[in-house]
Each structure stands twice: as structure tokens, then as C-alpha cells.
Structure 1
Amino acid sequence: MTNTLELIFNMNSNKKTARIAGLLYLVVVLSGIFSLAYVPGKLFVHNDASATFHNITTSETLFRFGILGSVICYTFFLILPLVLYKLLRSVDKTFAQSMVVLAVVSVPVSFINLLNKFAVLTLISKAGYLKVFEADKLQAQVLLHLQAYNNGNQIASIFWGLWLFPFGYLVFKSGILPKILGILLMAGCFGYLIAFTGKLLIPGYNEMAISDFVTLPASLGEIGTCLWLLIMGAKEKQVSA
């Protein structure tokens, strides 16, 4: 009877924890897509300071919402690994702790990097003291800060990748989530690191065909894990009699 009650308690707790993690992950994914892909795709024109400046000044609200999306993304990403730790720590405590540390390290880097976007808001504010800048120089300053922001994201992406390896290992070994998700997550770690190295060492890496596929395992693994946790919860390990 005691073992049965313990099993029921663990099932409720485990499934609840899994779905909370899935919900947090969904917020991270959606806010990340919005702030890191949708908004830049709408506003930023590569190597065209004038067009980028025009887009931001005419769609300033969207730009500000992009910043807000980043704040939401990074805040929830600070909480997510702590919930995943609760779910997966019984698999391997050392790997679970590594997962948390590697994920959390990226958060202050990401928040500090957002200062570049706040600098852009200052540059487009039409404050009186900005009149000393000619239009083309002001536009160049905006593009410079946006490039600095992209560079900061590259630094953060090291940890966006590294945390996926212990996370993927825990998923693979847990028995409460599909092993394929763990494999994709671990592969995603190396995808992020390859992308960082390629952008650092190879001019024009973003135009290469491989750049579109190297981070695909991470995307499939993270979105798949998010949806599985949210919809399916987590399988329960049997409690021995």
C-alpha cells in the first residue's frame, strides 16, 4: 500500500514538474524566435546602415517589443534549468548540476549584451545632444551597436550549446523521455560550437549551405523536448516493491 501511494505521489509530482518545464521552455522558444529571428528579419538589413536606421525609426514599437521579448526569454531561461534539474537530478546529479551551471552562465552575458539595443534606442531618440552627429554617422553608430549585439550573442551561443550536452545525456539516460530527443540535444551542442567556430574563423560563413543545417539538431531537439514535456509530460520510472 505504501509503495502504491509513493508511486501515485511520484507520478503526480513528476508529470507536474515535466509540464511546468515544458511551459517554461515554450515561453523561451517563442520569445527567442520573436526576438532573435522575427524582429531582426523585419528590421535589420545586412551592411545597410541607412535602411536599418529607417526601419527601426519607423517601427520603433516593434524594436522595443523585441527587447522585451529578449528580457522574457532570458528570465525564463534562468528558471528553466532549475525545474529541469528537479526533474532529472535522480539520473545523474553531476550532469544535472553541470546542465544548470552552463545554462545559467549565459543569462548575465545575454542581459549585458542587451545594452547594445538600449544604446540604439538612445541614438534614435532625437535628443538635442545627438545633433552633433551627421545623419550617416548616426546611422553607422546604430549599425555598429547592432553588430556588437550580434557578437555578444555569439559569445552567449557557446553556452546555449554547451548546456545541451549534459541535458541531452540526462534525457537519453532518464527513461522518462524519448532517447532520440537526448541524441538530438547532444548533437545540438556540437552544432552550436561548430557554428560559433565557423563564424569566427570563416568569412562569409553565414552564406555557406552548412550554416543552415548545423544547428538543426538543436532546434529539433529543443522544440521536440519542449512539446513532449508540455503535452506528454514524462514517463514514470517504476518503484520497486
Structure 2
Amino acid sequence: MTSQVRLARGAGLYYLAVAILGGFAHGYVRARVYVADDAATTADNLAANTQLVRIGFAADLAQATLMLFVVLALYRLLGHVSKPLARAMVAFVVVSVAITCLNMLNQLGALLVATDASYASAFGEEGSDTLVLLLLDLQHNGYLIAQIFFGLWLFPLGLLAYRSVLFPRLIGALLMLGSVSYLIDVVLHFLVPDLADAVSAPILIPVVILAEVSMLGYLLIKGVSAPCPDDAAAHGEPTLVAT
């Protein structure tokens, strides 16, 4: 097994961990407790699932941290194609991770309000429930802000993959399309939320899932399509760079 394949599969394992932990935190925990426009139910759900929410909180922080390992491994793998693009890819992920981690304070604040009786005494039960919902609404929108940069990182990644010989060009094209889909989704949610509900789930989200699952699957199963140019040159082999 070449060092490039090991590096690619390592990135794939980190990416898989990000997908599992993120899916648990967002798709299971938040979906279980957060009910938009229903403050009382949301507050009750938080109070009834305190330990689950704490585990989801930890999972979300872990997946954000692991995302840094993903992009650093991919930087090592694809940096030879274009240093500026590779650096942009890392920068976008760093910004996205920073926003995601800071945004987690909103969830922690909601949990504190929902489980500490002093807040109900100070604001009244209805007021504290409303504060819980406000904090989770802020978290929801904070994820959309982070999504701007998470969407942006896919474009240089896709372009790097497309230009290299390490991945099929179709995957590179899908990643760039996924980047555009992420950004359109953010714009629609902030500017035309009714249209976002109609467009995102049937069109944009499937494109994003296809792009990321394709890259993740290829990293784990195949690794890379051909030796990295640097290693090929080191072994006296022809350098392989797509034109």
C-alpha cells in the first residue's frame, strides 16, 4: 500500500467519523429536541433528554475538530496540484469549524435555561421556554452561517481533485456542484425561506449528499487513482499530472 493510499484512507476515516458524529448530533439529537415555533415542547424536550443533548454536544465538538484532520490530510494529498487552492481549502474549513464551535454556546445556553429552575423563576415559565427556543433558533441559523464556508471548501477541493490524477474527474465536478448547492441553500434559507423548503430537500441536499458520499466512499475504498506526482518522481517514474 502506497503512502498516498494510506493518507487518502486516513482522510476517509476522519471524514467518516465526521459524518457519523455530525449525523448523530444534527440528524438525531437536534431533530429529537428542537421543534421550530414551539417553545414549550422544545424546552420540555431539552429537560427530558439532558444527557442525550450533552452527548450530542460533545459529538458536535468532536466532529468539528476531526474536520480539521480531514482537510489537513487532503492538503498533504492534493497540495502538489495548487498550493493557493489547497491553502484556500484549509482556510475555509478553519473558519467553518470556528463558527461551528462558537455556535455550540447557543445549544449549551438553551440547555442551561431549560434545566435550571432559577431561569424560570426570573423570567417565568413561558419566558424561559421562549429563551430556550430563541437560543436554539440562533444555533440553527449559526449552522447556516458556518455552512457558507463549509460549502466554499468543497469548491477548491473539487477543483484540486479534478485537476489531479488522484481522483476521477466526475467526483471533482460533483464536489464543485455540491459547493454551489450548499451556497444556494444558504441564500434561499435567509432570503426566501418558503422557497428553500420547496427546493432544498428534493434538489440541493441530494446533490450535496451525492458529492460528499462519492468522495468519502472513494477515499475509503480506492484511496487514490494513481501515485502522487512527487512519489512517482522519487521512484524514477513519469510524473502524472492532468492537463
TM over 0.5: yes
Residue 53 of structure 1 contacts residue 139 of structure 1 at CA under 8 Å; is this kept in 2?
A: yes
Residues 157-186 of structure 1, C-alpha deviations (whole Å, 9 max, x = no match): 100100100000111121111221111110
Residue 92 of structure 2 contacts residue 153 of structure 2 at CA under 8 Å; is this kept in 1?
A: yes
CA distance in 2, matches of 1:185, 1:123: 40
Q: Report the CA distance between 1:216 and its aligned residue.
A: 2.2
Equivalent residue for 1:174? 164
Distance 1:67 1:210, change over 3 A: closer
The question of 1:71 aligning with 2:51 is answered no
For 1:234, what is the secondary structure of its paired residue? coil
Residue 24 of structure 1 contacts residue 76 of structure 1 at CA under 8 Å; is this kept in 2?
A: yes
Matches within 5 A, 1:37-186: 37-128=27-118, 130-186=120-176
CA distance in 1, matches of 2:195, 2:28: 21
Number of residue pairs the alignment of both structures matches: 231
CA distance in 2, matches of 1:133, 1:166: 48
For 1:212, what is the secondary structure of its paired residue? helix
Q: Report the CA distance between 1:84 and its aligned residue.
A: 0.2
Residue 185 of structure 2 contacts residue 200 of structure 2 at CA under 8 Å; is this kept in 1?
A: no
Root mean square deviation of aligned Cα: 1.6
**Deviating more after overlay: 152-161 vs 50-59:** 50-59
Out of 192, 197, 210, the position equivalent to 2:187 is: 197
Identical aligned pairs, as a percentage?
35
The question of 1:231 aligning with 2:217 is answered no
Distance 1:129 1:217, change over 3 A: closer
Residue 19 of structure 1 contacts residue 230 of structure 1 at CA under 8 Å; is this kept in 2?
A: yes
CA distance in 1, matches of 2:18, 2:8: 15
Structure with higher RCO (Cα < 8 A, 6+ apart): 1
Counterpart of 2:155, as a letter, is F
Q: TM-score, normalised by structure 2?
A: 0.89
Residue 29 of structure 1 contacts residue 223 of structure 1 at CA under 8 Å; is this kept in 2?
A: no
Q: TM-score, normalised by structure 1?
A: 0.90
Residue 109 of structure 1 contacts residue 156 of structure 1 at CA under 8 Å; is this kept in 2?
A: yes
Equivalent residue for 1:22? 12
**Deviating more after overlay: 159-168 vs 53-62:** 53-62
Equivalent residue for 1:8? none
Counterpart of 1:71, as a letter, is L
Residue 162 of structure 2 contacts residue 173 of structure 2 at CA under 8 Å; is this kept in 1?
A: yes
Residues 87-136 of structure 1, C-alpha deviations (whole Å, 9 max, x = no match): 01112222111111111111111111110011012102224364122111
Q: Report the CA distance between 1:212 and its aligned residue.
A: 3.3
CA distance in 1, matches of 2:84, 2:165: 18
Residue 188 of structure 1 contacts residue 216 of structure 1 at CA under 8 Å; is this kept in 2?
A: no
Counterpart of 1:192, as a letter, is Y
Equivalent residue for 1:240? 238
Distance 1:129 1:25, change over 3 A: closer
Q: Where do 5+ consecutive residues of structure 2 fail to align? A: none
CA distance in 2, matches of 1:129, 1:197: 35
